[in-house]
Amino acid sequence: MLAIGLGLAGYYALVAVGFALIFATLRIFHIAHGTVFISAGYLFFVLHRVNGLELFTSGVISVAVAAVLGLAIDKLVYLPVMRRGGGLFSVFIASLGVSLIFEAGFLAYTKGVVSVARTDTLDILSAGSVAVRTLDLGVLALVAVVFGLLYLWLHRTQVGLEVRGLTDNSPLAAVVGVNVDRTRNHIFLLASALAGLAGVLTAYDMGINPDTGTRTLFVAVVAVILGGVRNILLGTIVGSVALGILTAYAGFFFPEWVTFSVFLTMILLILWRPQGLFG
Instruction: Considering only the stretches 51-59, 76-84, 107-115, 262-270, report the one whose residues sit in contact with other proteins under the rule CB under 8 A.
Output: 107-115
Q: How far is the CB of 224 from other proteins (least distance, A)?
A: 21
Q: Is 211 in the site for other proteins (CB under 8 A)?
A: yes
Q: Is 153 in the site for other proteins (CB under 8 A)?
A: no
Q: Is 122 in the site for other proteins (CB under 8 A)?
A: yes
Q: Is 250 in the site for other proteins (CB under 8 A)?
A: yes
Our CA dihedral for 26, 32, 34, 38, rounded to 10 degrees, sits at: -130
CA distance 36 to 30: 10
Of the candidates 209, 227, 231, the one whose C-alpha atom is nearest the C-alpha of residue 12 is 227
Q: Is 32 exposed, middle or buried (0-12, 13-18, 19+ CB in 10 A)?
A: buried
CA distance 27 to 30: 9
Q: How far is the CB of 111 from other proteins (least distance, A)?
A: 4
> Which residues from 50-69 bind other proteins, rule CB under 8 A?
none
- According to DSSP, the residues that pair with 132 across neighbouring strands are 125
Among 142, 206, 234, 270, binds other proteins (CB under 8 A): 206
For 54-90, letters b (16+ CB in 10 Å) and e give: eeeebbebbbbbbbebbbebbeebbeebbeeebeeee
> Cβ closer to other proteins: 119 or 272?
119
Of the candidates 2, 21, 278, 16, the one whose C-alpha atom is nearest the C-alpha of residue 143 is 16
> Cβ closer to other proteins: 5 or 165?
5
Q: How far is the CB of 149 from other proteins (least distance, A)?
A: 27
Q: Is 251 in the site for other proteins (CB under 8 A)?
A: yes
**Non-local CB neighbours of 75 within 8 Å, separated by 6+ positions:** none
Q: Is 120 in the site for other proteins (CB under 8 A)?
A: yes
Q: Which residues bind other proteins (CB under 8 A)?
A: 1, 4, 8, 107-108, 111-114, 116, 118-122, 124, 126, 131, 133, 202, 206-209, 211-212, 248-253, 255-256
